[in-house]
């Protein structure tokens, strides 16, 4: 939203009067006088007119969570515990998930209440690499590397998967990098090469990797640098 619109709606004054107030240097945005009516503001912005607070900022939350196996990537469920149940924050009900994992998958999940940030991550999904550690029922065949790089046609969605990088780690383990996030994508890809995923763990999303000191079930706020890096990545 633009600053002039926010002031006009909060003060029930016309856009013209809002412009005049802004031009008269009566408006502060996050504590700084702003004289441009088109200055962008959102619900996380503090806006003051003279001595009164027109809009108190909401807390913007950005966090990473190490999802354990068995927890649902959802904010509400009647049957299973969800990732929100693991979070202890008074504003946790405002969060949504930026990229879900299956219940049986562990690893990095990002949550935020900033829809613009998550949208940036999501719409650029084709570019943001997501890295998975995969354990399979049978040894991973070397030919799978080329098949994953070529892509698989998924007739339900009528798409061919983007080139994915599969690195064999020996025996039944591999590391897979995807540049998109289709429904059950990793499992479906391994199924196509006649194998089955028995364990799946997401290690990273773009620039954000699950830190070694964040155990399963734990979460932490992202640092300002991480918030920026994730969006830049997108």
- Catalytic residue selected from 42, 77, 85, 102: 102
Q: Which CB, 60 or 133, lies closer to ligand URA?
A: 133
- Report the interface residues with ligand URA, using CB under 6 A: 101-102, 105, 184-187, 200
Q: Which CB, 58 or 203, lies closer to ligand URA?
A: 203
Taking the complex as a whole, the smallest distance from the CB of residue 184 to ligand URA amounts, in Å, to 4
Cβ pair 158, 165 in contact under 8 A: no
Q: Which residues of 197-218 are buried (b: 16+ CB within 10 A; e: fewer)?
A: beebbbebbbbbebeeeeebee
Catalytic status, residue 102: yes
Taking the complex as a whole, the smallest distance from the CB of residue 164 to ligand URA amounts, in Å, to 11
Cβ pair 70, 60 in contact under 8 A: no
Q: Which CB, 10 or 103, lies closer to ligand URA?
A: 103
Taking the complex as a whole, the smallest distance from the CB of residue 157 to ligand URA amounts, in Å, to 14
Going by C-beta distance under 8 Å and a sequence separation of 6 or more, which residues neighbour residue 151?
Answer: 160, 161, 162, 163, 164
Q: Hunting for tokens 């009516």 — which residue is that?
A: 37
* Residues known to be catalytic: 102
């Amino acid at each position: 939203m633009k600053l002039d619109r926010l002031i006009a709606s909060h003060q029930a004054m016309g856009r013209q009067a809002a412009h005049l107030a802004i031009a008269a240097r009566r408006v502060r945005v996050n504590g700084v006088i702003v004289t441009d009516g088109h200055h962008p503001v959102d619900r996380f912005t503090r806006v003051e007119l003279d001595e009164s607070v027109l809009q108190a900022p909401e807390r913007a939350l950005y966090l990473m969570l190490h999802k354990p196996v068995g927890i649902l990537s959802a904010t509400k469920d009647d049957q299973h515990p969800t990732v929100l149940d693991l979070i202890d924050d008074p504003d946790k009900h405002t969060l949504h998930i930026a990229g879900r994992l299956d219940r049986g998958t562990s690893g990095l999940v990002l949550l935020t209440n900033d829809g613009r940030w998550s949208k940036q991550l999501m719409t650029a999904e084709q570019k943001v690499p997501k890295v998975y550690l995969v354990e399979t029922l049978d040894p991973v065949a070397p030919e799978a590397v080329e098949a994953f790089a070529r892509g698989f046609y998924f007739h339900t969605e009528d798409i061919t998967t983007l080139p994915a990088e599969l690195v064999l780690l020996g025996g039944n383990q591999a590391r897979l990098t995807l540049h998109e996030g289709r429904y059950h994508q990793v499992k479906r890809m391994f199924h196509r090469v006649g194998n089955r995923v028995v364990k799946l763990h997401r290690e990273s999303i773009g620039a954000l990797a699950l830190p070694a000191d964040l155990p399963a079930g734990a979460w932490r706020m992202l640092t300002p640098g991480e918030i920026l890096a994730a969006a830049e990545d997108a």
